[in-house]
Chains A and B, each alone.
Chain A
Amino acid sequence: MATRIFLVLIMAILVLMIATFSLSLVEKEEIALIENQEGKSLNIVDDLYDIEGNQIPLESLLEGKVLLNVWASWCITCLVEHPFLKSITQSKDVKLIGINYKDQSFNAEKYLLENGDPYIFSIYDLSGEFSLKLGVTGAPETFLLIDGVIVSHRIGEVNMEIWNEKFAQYF
């Protein structure tokens, strides 16, 4: 009798376990683990400056469609997505603003000189504080803002495929 109860219990646990694992394998849509920042609005507390040290007018971020891209000269994936960002600013009417993340200004300037500068300007975020409040976890990341509200957020590299999936519908 005891053996029978044990048998039923063990088999039930096994079946449940295997079913769960199968479901988790089959689940095609990978759930992003980190909540992305879509739906939240941009909240700027401090003054912002670009790499040359000029103060940035806040309207330029809060009005209309703005594509914000987090980059740094030490970030390798940023270099990988750089050509794509250039091509997208040339082919489409995209207002691309950079966030230069935890970088030395002269390294950042050198990087733009060598690889081309697709950004209207780049917010100089040496401490990473502005990015942190925005919900950035590293570089590269890309946000699409419409009138100061984040409508689309990509953690990681942007390429044609990602662009079509996350951003193209707004342009």
Chain B
Amino acid sequence: MGSKLSYANFSVLLIACAYLAYQFLQDNFSFIYVFENSSNLLPVFYKFSAFWSAHEGSFLLMILFLSGSLAVNNLLFWEEKWIPISNATIAFILFFYLLFQIFTSNPFLTFDILPKNGTDLNPLLQDPLLAIHPPVLFAGYVFYAVTFSLVIAGLFRGFDKELFKNLKLWAGISWFTLTLAILLGSIWAYYELGWGGYWFWDPVENIVLLPWLAGTAFTHSLIYSRNKILLSWMVFLGISTFLLSILGSFIVRSGILNSVHSFASDPSRGIFLLSLFALFAFASLGLFFSKSVLLKSNWPELISKQYLLVLNNIVLVVILLIVFLGTLYPIVTEVFYNQKLSIGPDYFSSLITPLVFVLIALFLAEQFLGYLKSNQRNTLIISIIIASVFLFLFISELNPVTLGLIFVALALIILLLRALVEFFSTKDIKVMHKILGHLSVVLLTFSVLLNHEFSETIDVKLKPGDEIEFSGATLKLESINVEGQANFDSVVASFSVLESNLKKTLVSEKRVYKIGGVITAETGISSSLIKDYHVVLGDRYQDGSWSIRYSINYGIMMIWISSILLLFAMLYGTIRRHGY
């Protein structure tokens, strides 16, 4: 009976979503939501993705996903002991989400008249990557709600072997999905925003990073929790991850952060979501503390993998705290001191970079745990001291970033060598996903540092036919043309970059959208493994030349590649136990 009801719930929501999607495809602008986010000039694909381009539709999609996961859970795990409590928890969340949707954000409201055309989809969102980024992000949030429901079930029924297996599956899927969403967002920012960056420490980005960091710590704390090590800490993290995702929804959807361009958003939404957060927070944490006596945890030894894991979790939580403070501090000063200030990227990167180095040092320390335990301990300590002395000799000469690069590169080589040695001595790698995951994090750090240290940007003024030499390569503005599309007109600038007889062409555009007259810039990028050439067409000067922003960005491809490797490791680590 219970499982049938969850299917019915999903089917009804699916019909509701299909109905709304149909209105978008039919250009039925008598629906206020369709009117505000679509127009008849929009390509069909974007008419469909406009469904989740604003608050109401995206929340509906999130509810659909939650209901879908509930149905899948019932389909696959109906026999499990944890199912009743998990179902109850998800149904509880679903109930409040639906109340919120119906009473504050109904996407099915209509006008009495039929407007001729809609006000169009925000041009920045008219991009294939940003069309798929939001659904993936909401799926990530929703999967963490399912993970949370399993944790709650464990609090009531106790954590047994089966529950751990399913908990690891859901935690892995959620972690993978959220990471994918963040990666898609970054790729979009790099290719579409055209500022040459992939991460801006923008409040909205940081809000997504909060549950991701908690989820990262959570997934790691799950590894040894079957031996009751860190069990209660794992439960606490599982609850926090879900709470942070609700907090994220509250902050983004109530508009308390971006007050410059806040749409006159309905204050009742913020109040509802905040109450929801308070309800879930007090209920689940109250439950956690009342049951924590039952969660007898064991404590690891000093020199052990488990102890390193404790340190890893501390560092991750401190990073979380930094992102949390930096993002929300402006709200605090505004409320209590009436002072508006900004926390820039400098704050985050200056505090977080050293902590990432600590994490990498922990990966390395793990490789040498065997030596530390055995009687070779003294040899190891002496070699570490010698190595540090050598490093200190260099410190006076090198700047911190270069030093960091050397450290990360060394870590990369050591990890790689250890993996190879293991492979050739045993013809097998035991925990492939772990080694691959840690390697890709180190590679990612290396690429980010490379990008930070070597990338260069210059603003130039060029007429068609002009050339400029910068950083060993020649940029030429070949031509300026004008083209028209269905929903926008654009000025198209063709460039060529010549470096040591290798010629590459780049195209940058400036688009004027027909509805609303919004102007956007399309970046011209030519990528290779080590460096990207990146041009953005700026404004026109009165004498017919154009301002052009020309950058050489290092390591971008390596950032994407290492992130994809990381995703692969996450996916493999999640499903390998399930016989796939």
Interface on A for B, CB 8 Å cutoff? Answer: 3, 7, 10-11, 14, 18, 20-25, 27, 30-31, 33-34, 76, 104, 126
**Would you give 29 A-B contacts (Cβ < 8 Å), ordered by A?**
A3-B289, A3-B292, A7-B289, A10-B285, A11-B285, A14-B281, A14-B285, A18-B281, A20-B328, A20-B331, A20-B332, A20-B335, A20-B336, A21-B250, A21-B256, A22-B274, A23-B335, A24-B256, A25-B270, A27-B334, A27-B335, A30-B259, A31-B334, A31-B338, A31-B340, A34-B260, A76-B516, A104-B542, A126-B542
Q: What distance in Å separates the Cβ of A25 from its nearest Cβ neighbour in chain B? A: 5
A150 CA / B331 CA spacing, docked (Å): 29
Set of chain B residues within 8 Å of A25, measured between Cβ atoms: 254, 256, 267, 270-271, 274
Set of chain B residues within 8 Å of A24, measured between Cβ atoms: 256, 331, 334-335
A61 CA / B157 CA spacing, docked (Å): 78
Q: What distance in Å separates the Cβ of B238 from its nearest Cβ neighbour in chain A? A: 15
A7 CA / B254 CA spacing, docked (Å): 28
Q: What distance in Å separates the Cβ of B517 from its nearest Cβ neighbour in chain A? A: 5
Q: What distance in Å separates the Cβ of A123 from its nearest Cβ neighbour in chain B? A: 18
Set of chain B residues within 8 Å of A20, measured between Cβ atoms: 328, 331-332, 335-336
A interface, over-half SS: helix
Set of chain B residues within 8 Å of A22, measured between Cβ atoms: 274
Set of chain B residues within 8 Å of A11, measured between Cβ atoms: 285
Set of chain A residues within 8 Å of B281, measured between Cβ atoms: 14, 18
Max count, chain B CB within 10 A of own CB: residue among A10, A25, A31, A76: A25
Residue of A nearest to B270 (CB): A25
A7 CA / B286 CA spacing, docked (Å): 9
A21 CA / B281 CA spacing, docked (Å): 14
Q: What distance in Å separates the Cβ of B544 from its nearest Cβ neighbour in chain A? A: 12
- Taking the complex as formed, is B282 at the interface, i.e. its CB lies under 8 A from any CB of chain A? yes
Chain B contact residue count (CB 8 A cutoff): 27
Question: In chain B, residues 274-295, which have Cβ atoms closer than 8 Å to a Cβ of chain A?
Answer: 274, 277-278, 281-282, 285, 289, 292
A104 CA / B289 CA spacing, docked (Å): 68
Given contact pairs A10-B285, A21-B250, a sample of 8 additional A-B residue pairs in the complex whose CB atoms are under 8 Å apart: A3-B289, A14-B278, A21-B274, A22-B274, A24-B256, A25-B254, A33-B260, A76-B516
Set of chain B residues within 8 Å of A10, measured between Cβ atoms: 285
Set of chain B residues within 8 Å of A14, measured between Cβ atoms: 278, 281-282, 285
Interface on B for A, CB 8 Å cutoff? Answer: 250, 254, 256, 259-260, 267, 270-271, 274, 277-278, 281-282, 285, 289, 292, 328, 331-332, 334-336, 338, 340, 516-517, 542
Set of chain B residues within 8 Å of A33, measured between Cβ atoms: 259-260, 340
Q: What distance in Å separates the Cβ of A106 from its nearest Cβ neighbour in chain B? A: 12
Contact call B278/A18, Cβ cutoff below 8 A: yes
Residue of A nearest to B243 (CB): A14
A80 CA / B35 CA spacing, docked (Å): 20
Q: What distance in Å separates the Cβ of A29 from its nearest Cβ neighbour in chain B? A: 10
Residue of B nearest to A30 (CB): B259
A157 CA / B61 CA spacing, docked (Å): 35
A34 CA / B259 CA spacing, docked (Å): 11
> A20-B331, A25-B254 known; A31 and B259 CB under 8 Å?
yes
Set of chain B residues within 8 Å of A104, measured between Cβ atoms: 542
Set of chain A residues within 8 Å of B340, measured between Cβ atoms: 31, 33
A14 CA / B289 CA spacing, docked (Å): 14
A169 CA / B292 CA spacing, docked (Å): 63
Q: What distance in Å separates the Cβ of B499 from its nearest Cβ neighbour in chain A? A: 35
Residue of A nearest to B281 (CB): A14
Max count, chain B CB within 10 A of own CB: residue among A3, A33, A34, A104: A33
A21 CA / B277 CA spacing, docked (Å): 11
Contact call A18/B274, Cβ cutoff below 8 A: yes
Which of A18, A31, A126 meets B277, CB within 8 Å? A18
Q: What distance in Å separates the Cβ of B92 from its nearest Cβ neighbour in chain A? A: 19
Residue of A nearest to B289 (CB): A7
Q: What distance in Å separates the Cβ of A31 from its nearest Cβ neighbour in chain B? A: 6
Q: What distance in Å separates the Cβ of A153 from its nearest Cβ neighbour in chain B? A: 16
Set of chain B residues within 8 Å of A30, measured between Cβ atoms: 259
Query: Which are the 10 A-B pairs with shortest beta-carbon distances?
Result: A23-B335, A25-B270, A7-B289, A24-B335, A24-B256, A33-B260, A18-B278, A33-B340, A76-B517, A24-B331
A24 CA / B251 CA spacing, docked (Å): 11
Q: What distance in Å separates the Cβ of A118 from its nearest Cβ neighbour in chain B? A: 22
Q: What distance in Å separates the Cβ of B317 from its nearest Cβ neighbour in chain A? A: 12
Q: What distance in Å separates the Cβ of B418 from its nearest Cβ neighbour in chain A? A: 37
A30 CA / B261 CA spacing, docked (Å): 12
Set of chain A residues within 8 Å of B267, measured between Cβ atoms: 25
Q: What distance in Å separates the Cβ of A15 from its nearest Cβ neighbour in chain B? A: 9
Set of chain A residues within 8 Å of B336, measured between Cβ atoms: 20
